[in-house]
């Protein structure tokens, strides 16, 4: 009786000892991870410590930029997809005074220095550091390369979001919020002023056509009563070079496969014919 109780106690104490040991081991294992995450300092989500090139830059958090990067990006995407293909088709040159001019995007240079290498790899084009999410690269730009922003001349594209329907781009899939007549009127006004400044009607037939197009594509939908939808004139059809090359390769592979099967079957037919001939001549020879 006593011995069994003692045995149980002993087992229990050894179990607690085991648990304690694993806890200590766990803490020791965690220690270096914690050190590395603090040593990363300001660059969160940073993968490669062996950057090929390092830019020495002072961390100046003094720049207070009140321009949403996400909304600017959405606006830029809309401009590139729903406007520029039509402007290029007309061979029209947007003037510097138009807010859609590439130089008027505050984040243009930074966005151009962004490379999406892999699903989980975003590289900074200035210092070659790699991050595993785009938001960390954005933070890195804000912290390390904010002095590269052209603050003197550039404008905030996010300011045009009301006119360009950025919310549709950002919240695609979400249910549309209730229409506010005052906001719709404000956005329509902004939209029409953009059409006037970017595509002045007296600037020739191309500008006049683009002015008309812009009103249909972006401005008509700013109304709570009308049933017009934004981007009614469609978007640029994307022809990805990669898909073209891949489909050509696939087609060639398929052709090769069928050619192989055809030749194989022809070879088989010939072989059987030859065999038949041999057996026939064999049979003919036998009686003699
Ligand atoms: Zn960098």
Q: What is the pLDDT of residue 22?
A: 56
38 compared with 9, residue with greater pLDDT: 9
Is residue 283 pLDDT above 90, yes or no?
Answer: no
CA 122 to ligand 1 center in whole angstroms = 11
Average pLDDT, the chain: 79
Over pLDDT 90: what percentage of the chain?
A: 46
- Tell me the per-residue pLDDT of 159-174, one tens digit each, with 9 for 90 and over: 999 999 998 888 876 6
Task: Give, as one character, the DSSP assignment of residue 125.
Answer: T
Confidence grade of residue 192 (pLDDT, cut at 50, 70, 90): very high
Enter the tokens of residue 253: 């592979």
Rounded to whole angstroms, the Cα distance separating 160 from 164 reads 6
Residue where the block lists tokens 């590269």: 148
- Tell me the per-residue pLDDT of 39-57, one tens digit each, with 9 for 90 and over: 344 577 776 544 433 333 3
Q: Is 206 exposed, middle or buried (0-12, 13-18, 19+ CB in 10 A)?
A: middle
Rounded to whole angstroms, the Cα distance separating 70 from 135 reads 10
Is residue 8 pLDDT above 70, yes or no?
Answer: no
Across the range 226-255, mean pLDDT stands at 80
Q: What is the pLDDT of residue 282?
A: 73
Q: What is the pLDDT of residue 233?
A: 81
Residue where the block lists tokens 């300011």: 159
3-state SS assignment for residue 245: helix
CA 121 to ligand 1 center in whole angstroms = 14
Rounded to the nearest 10 degrees, the angle between the axes of helix 205-214 and helix 181-198 is 170
Contact 149, 63 (CB under 8 A): yes
Across the range 240-253, mean pLDDT stands at 83
CA 188 to ligand 1 center in whole angstroms = 39
Is residue 254 pLDDT above 50, yes or no?
Answer: yes
Is residue 26 pLDDT above 70, yes or no?
Answer: no
CA 50 to ligand 1 center in whole angstroms = 13
Across the range 131-143, mean pLDDT stands at 94
Confidence grade of residue 19 (pLDDT, cut at 50, 70, 90): low
CA 33 to ligand 1 center in whole angstroms = 23
CA 49 to ligand 1 center in whole angstroms = 12
Question: Rg for the chain (alpha carbons), in Å?
Answer: 34
CA 104 to ligand 1 center in whole angstroms = 22
Rounded to whole angstroms, the Cα distance separating 213 from 87 reads 10
Question: What's the N-to-C CA distance of the chain in angstroms?
Answer: 104
CA 131 to ligand 1 center in whole angstroms = 10
Rounded to whole angstroms, the Cα distance separating 278 from 14 reads 85
Rounded to whole angstroms, the Cα distance separating 62 from 59 reads 9
CA 204 to ligand 1 center in whole angstroms = 44
Q: Is 238 left (phi over 0), alpha (psi -120 to 50) or beta?
A: beta
CA 129 to ligand 1 center in whole angstroms = 6
Residue where the block lists tokens 């106690």: 9
CA 126 to ligand 1 center in whole angstroms = 5
C-alpha pair distances (Å), 178 with each of 60, 70, 183, 273: 41, 23, 11, 79
């Amino acid at each position: 009786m006593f011995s069994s109780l003692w045995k149980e106690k002993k087992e229990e104490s050894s179990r607690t000892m085991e648990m304690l040991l694993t806890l200590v081991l766990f803490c020791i294992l965690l220690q270096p991870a914690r050190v590395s995450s603090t040593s990363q300092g300001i660059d969160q989500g940073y993968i490669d410590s062996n950057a090929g090139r390092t830019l020495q830059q002072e961390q100046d958090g003094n720049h207070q930029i009140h321009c949403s990067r996400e909304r600017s990006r959405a606006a830029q995407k809309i401009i590139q997809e729903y406007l520029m293909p039509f402007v290029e088709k007309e061979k029209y040159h947007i003037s510097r005074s138009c807010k859609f001019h590439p130089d008027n995007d505050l984040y243009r240079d930074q966005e151009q220095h962004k490379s999406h290498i892999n699903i989980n790899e975003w590289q900074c084009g200035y210092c070659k550091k790699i991050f595993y999410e785009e938001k960390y690269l954005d933070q890195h730009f804000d912290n390390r390369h904010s002095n590269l922003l052209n603050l003197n001349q550039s404008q905030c594209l996010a300011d045009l979001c009301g006119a360009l329907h950025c919310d549709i781009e950002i919240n695609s899939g979400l249910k549309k919020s209730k229409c506010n007549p005052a906001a719709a009127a404000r956005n329509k006004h902004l939209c029409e002023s953009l059409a006037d400044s970017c595509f002045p009607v007296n600037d020739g037939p191309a500008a006049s056509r683009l002015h008309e197009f812009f009103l249909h594509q972006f401005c008509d939908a700013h109304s709570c009563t009308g049933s017009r939808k934004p981007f009614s004139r469609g978007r640029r059809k994307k022809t990805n070079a990669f898909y073209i090359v891949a489909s050509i390769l696939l087609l060639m592979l398929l052709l090769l496969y069928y050619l192989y099967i055809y030749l194989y079957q022809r070879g088989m037919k010939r072989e059987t014919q030859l065999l038949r001939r041999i057996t026939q001549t064999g049979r003919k020879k036998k009686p003699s």
